[in-house]
Amino acid sequence: MIERLDVHSAGIPVLCQACEARHRGVCGALEPDQLVALAKTSSKHRVTSGAELIGDMEAVDGYSNILSGVVKLTKTLSDGREQIVGLQFAPDFLGRPFREESALTAQAATDVSLCSFPRATIEGMLKRSPGLEHRLLEQTLRELDEARDWMVTLGRKTAGEKVASFLMLIATYIDPELDPRSGSAVFDLPLTRAEIADFLGLTIETVSRQLTKLKADKVIQIENNRRVTVENIERLRFRAGL
């Protein structure tokens, strides 16, 4: 594809030109001059799987856009029990505005690339640019909807339904066009069994057994522990408790 200098890219920082966050992410709400100001203080970087992005160590300061990869948000009870309370994908915005200490930890579940901004820059722009706040509200409402769906899964579904629901979630994230009532899907699991267990409120062993059962029932195939093939997504949807 050839880069064109037309009205859409005029005055837009090079850093942002090919950035997905400018289209579907929060940066799409900014005017070119704001984008220039933001780009001055922002920096792209990559972190490897397992890195802690928000939490006690504060590896990444301020806020970020996720450019690629998967970030897991976890909460830990004092005795070590852990629950994943959210998964974020590109081009989600990462960080909790208007609050000092985040009560959760954000960790890279896969290798992740980020575009990070200082706290003050974003907070200043939020005050001046209502469009930015609107995008943030849209993302937050979406996350709330997702969290509530997850509460149903955690509170009321069986282990088998939970695992099937998780696979549905990943499948529809990988291919948002996917019709959950027909068709097929192939994807790599972005989480280990232990992480899936922490996401679903189960143990590793139970996750493994339920995956084995889905395999035995020919609902899915698994290669190399990671690559999942769903022949008929409707059957998987059924196993997820509709």
Interface with DNA (CB under 7 A): 158-160, 192-194, 201-209, 211-212, 222, 224-226
Q: Which does 14 bind (CB under 5 to 8 A by kind): DNA, a copy of itself, none?
A: none
10, 33, 155, 177: which one binds a copy of itself (CB under 8 A)? 155
By the 8 A CB rule, do 35 and 12 touch?
Answer: yes
13, 20, 37, 82: which one binds a copy of itself (CB under 8 A)? 82
C-alpha torsion sign, points 182, 184, 190, 195: positive
Q: How far apart are CA 58 and CA 56, in angstroms?
A: 6
- Least CB distance to DNA at residue 225 (A): 4
Q: How far apart are CA 205 and CA 106, in angstroms?
A: 25
- Least CB distance to DNA at residue 191 (A): 8
Give the nearer residue to a copy of itself in terms of CB position, either 120 or 151: 151
| Positions in 186-215 near a copy of itself (CB under 8 A) | 200-201
By the 8 A CB rule, do 64 and 114 touch?
Answer: yes
Give the nearer residue to DNA in terms of CB position, either 182 or 225: 225
- Least CB distance to a copy of itself at residue 181 (A): 14
49, 83, 113, 203: which one binds a copy of itself (CB under 8 A)? 83
C-alpha torsion sign, points 177, 230, 139, 55: negative
| Positions in 122-141 near a copy of itself (CB under 8 A) | 130, 133-134, 136-138, 140-141
Beta pairing class for 185-188 and 93-94: unpaired
Give the nearer residue to DNA in terms of CB position, either 23 or 156: 156
The answer to whether 106 contacts a copy of itself (rule: CB under 8 A) is no
Residue with tokens 């979630």: 169
Of 73, 49, 80, the residue nearest 189 (C-alpha): 49
Q: How far apart are CA 22 and CA 33, in angstroms?
A: 13
Sheet holding 227-230, edge to edge: 185-188, 227-230, 220-223
3-state secondary structure of 56: coil
Residue ranges binding a copy of itself (CB under 8 A):
73, 75, 77-79, 81-83, 85-86, 96-99, 103-104, 130, 133-134, 136-138, 140-141, 143-145, 147-152, 154-157, 200-201, 241-242
